[in-house]
């Protein structure tokens, strides 16, 4: 069985003080249950602080929002895998649509980062998803296939199993417009079918595919109960410690 994984992508939010205040409330609300894997992905500036807060906490893992593929060197403004490892980071979000559209990240770049993350024992959360124009133009499957082939090129089946895929339809991010459970399930099933074709059925059955895009406590149960939805990548609603804990609780309830 695939363990569900709920991650908080804080994006460019949360100072050190705000991060501390978040965990004071969140850890109490979260409790000790470990049925669902929980990941918090702060901005780089808060990684060390959050890592310290989580040092003895078994219920929450640390993630980063991006990284460069090279080991070190003249790359002003960038961060490498080794620097993240040093802070006990487990996961790294790669190819988020905001990185793709605002910062020009291509599938080729996302692929280099994914391979570098895996080579350094970081688990990539690779984001894919179509725009509204692509959905309206019946391009969803073509876009997802291209992103899967490009972003995940060269991964072994074992590496694929270590990778989490986040299906985030661009039109649902930060818009309050969530994909319906049926729309999300159809996309997830297609992604899994592609993985089975390109790697093998066994690896495809093990890969966790998260949904992202306006996830909140009230729509969590309907999305997370879909057979191919294995978790959520939560933006806006993850900034509120009670709301994010509620998203985890809603997911746990489905497994009870
Ligand atoms: P929202 O939950 O704010 O729509 O953001 C989704 C997202 O981009 C998570 O990576």
pLDDT in tens, 232-241: 999 999 999 9
126 CA distance to ligand 1 centroid (A)?
Answer: 14
186 CA distance to ligand 1 centroid (A)?
Answer: 19
Taking a C-beta distance cutoff of 8 angstroms, is the pair 39, 91 a contact? Answer: yes
Atom of ligand 1 nearest to the CA of 166: 10
What would the two tokens of residue 84 be? 């993240």
232 CA distance to ligand 1 centroid (A)?
Answer: 9
135 pLDDT exceeds 90?
yes
Which of the four pLDDT bands, split at 50, 70 and 90, describes residue 5?
Answer: very high
Q: What is the CATH number of the domain that holds 100?
A: 3.20.20.70
Atom of ligand 1 nearest to the CA of 237: 2
**Three-state secondary-structure class, residue 92:** strand
Taking a C-beta distance cutoff of 8 angstroms, is the pair 184, 226 a contact? Answer: yes
Atom of ligand 1 nearest to the CA of 238: 2
Report pLDDT for 1.
86
pLDDT tens-place string over residues 21-63: 999 999 999 999 999 999 999 999 999 999 999 999 999 999 9
Report pLDDT for 256.
79
Alpha carbon distances (Å) from 69 to 79, 178, 184:
9, 32, 30
* Segments forming the whole domain that contains residue 225: 5-254
| 96 flagged as catalytic | yes
**Range with lowest mean pLDDT among 103-107, 173-177, 197-201, 219-223:** 173-177
Closest CA to 3 of 43, 30, 33: 33
- Name the closest-CA residue to atom 1, ligand 1: 235
What would the two tokens of residue 107 be? 């599938």
Domain count, the chain: 1
Atom of ligand 1 nearest to the CA of 216: 2
CB of residue 65 inside a 6 A radius of ligand 1: no
127 CA distance to ligand 1 centroid (A)?
Answer: 11
Percent of the chain with pLDDT over 70: 100
d(CA 205, CA 193): 9
Mean pLDDT of 165-173: 96
Catalytic residue among 96, 98, 130, 250: 96
Q: For residue 29, what are the contacts with CB-CB under 8 A and spacing of at least 6?
A: 241, 242, 245, 246
| 168 flagged as catalytic | yes
């Amino acid at each position: 069985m695939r363990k569900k994984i709920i991650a908080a992508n804080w994006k460019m939010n949360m100072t050190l003080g705000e991060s501390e205040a978040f965990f004071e409330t969140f850890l109490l609300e979260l409790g000790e249950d470990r049925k669902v894997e929980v990941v918090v992905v702060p901005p780089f500036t808060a990684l060390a602080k959050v890592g310290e807060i989580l040092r003895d906490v078994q219920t929450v893992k640390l993630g980063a929002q991006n990284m460069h593929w090279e080991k070190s060197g003249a790359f002003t403004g960038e961060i490498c895998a080794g620097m993240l490892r040093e802070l006990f980071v487990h996961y790294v979000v790669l190819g988020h649509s905001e990185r793709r559209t605002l910062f020009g990240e291509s599938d080729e770049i996302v692929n280099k980062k994914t391979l570098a993350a895996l080579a350094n024992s970081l688990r990539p959360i690779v984001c894919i998803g179509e725009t509204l124009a692509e959905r309206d133009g019946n391009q969803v499957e073509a876009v997802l296939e291209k992103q899967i082939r490009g972003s995940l090129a060269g991964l072994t089946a074992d590496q694929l199993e270590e990778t989490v895929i986040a299906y985030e339809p661009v039109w649902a991010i930060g818009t309050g417009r969530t994909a319906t459970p049926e729309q999300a399930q159809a996309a997830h099933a297609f992604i899994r079918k592609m993985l089975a074709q390109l790697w093998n059925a066994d690896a495809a059955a093990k890969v966790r595919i998260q949904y992202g895009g306006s996830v909140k406590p009230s729509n969590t149960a309907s999305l997370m109960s879909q057979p191919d939805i294995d978790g959520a990548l939560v933006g806006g609603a993850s900034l509120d410690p009670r709301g994010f804990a509620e998203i985890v609780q809603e997911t746990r309830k489905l497994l009870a």
